Amino acid sequence: MSSPTIVTTDQLFKVAYGKFAIGAYNINNAEQSIGLFQGCMQSQAPFIIQISKGARKYTDKRMLEAIIRTSAEMFPEAIFAVHLDHGDEETCYDCIKSGFYSSVMIDASHESFEENIAITKRVVDVAHAAGISVEAELGMLGGVEEDIEVDEGNACLTNPEEAVEFIARSGCDSLAAAIGTSHGAYKFQGAQSLHFEVLESIMNKTPGMPIVMHGSSSVPKEEVRRINEAGGTLDPSACGVNEEEYLPAAKLGVTKINIDTDGRLVWTRVHREFFRDNTDQFDFRPPGKIFMKEYGDFIAHKNGKLGSAGTLETVRKAVS
């Protein structure tokens, strides 16, 4: 058995830049991993598997690695990067040392500008020596990420001038920019749009630099409605990024689009509906099977919107 085709995010971004975006999907368990691989094979798309610190604690970091390795054996055609999502310095070093991750995110966006640069640079030096790509964040998204909660008032968009200096001094390979999105299901109140003017300005000042968009779930109204109809109490005003804005963002340098919440909504809807309609059941495998199939379809749909669907063979040629 040949080793799985794990590539760096940098390799993927070189092919995608200015044309389409690569979907970065968080996984926590085997069902999500199988659905993700299945959906990417269905849509013939490269992808990025994201592992958060929370996921590493929930399933155990070794278990996640085993799940991903096994998924890759089940789907040997897959091309993907393994990425640490919202890492702190210590977790970045742990992932780099593991030899399994091909990319890490150091998120020191809550620190001062100077401290963010200093921490990011330290991680970049260690990661690059091991051939691993580094994503860093400048600006602050609203919502909750890992243990840090940022209210909308403190969220701040990335300053394009600062981005130029940050990239030059930190040496990061991609930049997570705050352009109006936030994590979770409640992103926008009122007008719903990305700050394309900020994106365009960053791209013009840092041509060729891959930009990452966090908080990119679209939070479909229909999904929220079905969850609530099956007993959930999500706020019906929940609202996310318009999927039709993914590709215009990609044309302005966004090469990685992070999606987690939408997948959680699929899981919640499938399981709530299943147990509502089968009140005598207690086997988790039947809804698990439905979830894997539905999660795969969901991923294939997202890859279509990102423009990564159908690019697998082009990417294979570029990375081989």
Judged by CB under 6 A, the chain residues 35 through 64 that form the site for ligand 13P are none
The interface partner of residue 146, options being ligand G3H, ligand 13P, Zn ion, none and the CB cut-off 5 to 8 Å by kind, is ligand G3H
**Residue 60 annotated to the active site:** no
Nearer to ligand 13P, 31 or 260 (CB): 260
- Based on its alpha-carbon atoms, the radius of gyration of the chain, rounded to whole angstroms, reads 19
HSE-CB for 201 with a 13 A CA cutoff = 14
Judged by CB under 6 A, the chain residues 184 through 243 that form the site for ligand 13P are 184, 214-217
- Among residues 14, 18, 19, 54, which is the contact residue for ligand G3H, using CB under 6 A? 54
Residue among 101, 89, 102, 115 at smallest CA distance from 170: 115
The interface partner of residue 259, options being Zn ion, ligand G3H, ligand 13P, none and the CB cut-off 5 to 8 Å by kind, is ligand 13P
* Binding piece for ligand 13P, criterion CB under 6 A, among 38-46, 75-83, 231-239, 259-267: 259-267
CB of 259 to ligand 13P, least distance (A): 5
CB of 277 to ligand 13P, least distance (A): 27
21: which DSSP letter?
-
Residue among 263, 265, 297 at smallest CA distance from 28: 263
| 10 lies in the binding site for ligand G3H (CB under 6 A) | no
What is the C-alpha separation between 150 and 156, in angstroms, rounded? 10
Contact by Cβ (8 Å): 83, 115: no
- Among residues 7, 21, 30, 55, which is the contact residue for ligand G3H, using CB under 6 A? 55
Contact by Cβ (8 Å): 88, 107: yes
The torsion of the CA quartet 11, 113, 148, 215, rounded to 10 degrees, works out to -40
Residues found near ligand G3H in the complex (CB under 6 A): 26, 52, 54-55, 85-86, 145-146, 183, 260
